[in-house]
Copies of this chain bind each other. A is one copy, B any other.
Amino acid sequence: MAALVYWMDMAGVIVFALSGVILACRTRMDPFGMLVLAAVASIGGGTIRDLVLGVRPVFWVTDPTYLWVVLATVALSILGFHYIHRLTRTFLPVTDACGLALFTVIGTHKALMLGNAGVVAVLMGMMTGVAGGMLRDVLARRVPMVLRQEIYATASILGGTAYVLLLELQMNTVLSIGLALGLTLSLRLAAIYWQLSLPTFAWVVTPPPEPADTPPRDTAVSDAPAHVRRRPKVRVKLISPRTTRRRR
């Protein structure tokens, strides 16, 4: 069990480090910038989780292997850059989804092990899976994908909730891990493939209605005083995902 979680953790670290390298390359950073973004993306989420849960010092101070893995990933990806680049479109989103699923289940698991309530564990799983990418995007001055894109953290929350419920139902731990992993992963992959997203809310500014009976120009007799400004009406509207995407 512990070994399983450990190897899942390492796999997640590698995948998220790669995402940091790719983003650093897109915003023209030097190799050091790559290292920073890779480190932030891959160990940032777990760091926040450990800080909030009061685990001290955080995991990568206790076990520096994580840092060496990040270093090696960045070094190898600089050497083999042309190959990674080609993998971006087909390979990366899939492994990123794997990383999200892995970190979500690990985060939820660790929080439960420390004896926390279910809702805290779900939030911790989500944080572990999502916070690293969020920090990475803020540093590179992007709106965190997570706050805009297709179902991402929603998959994480549902997966974590499933894990907590399965354990509550006395199911075997390894089986629960597998099921929660599968759920998060398939939700995220489905969202990528069919571009699923939740509807968003937005303020929609409606222009004031054209007066129906506009008299001809010269003979205009205005009933209402001219200073009554027709203000556009602001309404709150639920925008379906399709509309949102088309406008973007």
Contacts and interface: CB of A to CB of B under 8 A. Distances in A.
Interface residues of A, number: 62
A contact face: mostly helix, strand, loop, or mixed: helix
Contacts of A54: 56-58, 61
A76 interface: no
A14 B159 CA distance: 27
A47 B52 contact: yes
A53 B64 CA distance: 13
A72 to B, nearest CB: 12
Contacts of A61: 52-54, 116, 120
Nearest to A71: B119
B139 A141 contact: no
A143 interface: yes
Interface string A129-149: 000001000111101101110
A173 interface: no
30 contacts: A24-B201, A25-B201, A25-B236, A26-B203, A28-B148, A28-B200, A29-B148, A29-B200, A30-B199, A31-B198, A31-B201, A32-B147, A32-B157, A32-B198, A34-B201, A36-B146, A37-B147, A47-B52, A51-B51, A52-B57, A53-B56, A53-B57, A64-B119, A64-B120, A81-B201, A81-B236, A85-B203, A134-B139, A140-B147, A141-B141
Given A32-B153, A85-B236, 11 more contacts: A28-B244, A29-B147, A30-B148, A31-B198, A34-B201, A36-B146, A39-B123, A52-B57, A61-B120, A85-B203, A139-B147
Interface of A: 24-34, 36-37, 39, 47, 51-54, 56-58, 60-61, 64, 67-68, 71, 78, 81-82, 85, 116-117, 119-120, 123, 134, 138-141, 143-144, 146-148, 152-154, 157, 197-203, 234, 236, 239, 244
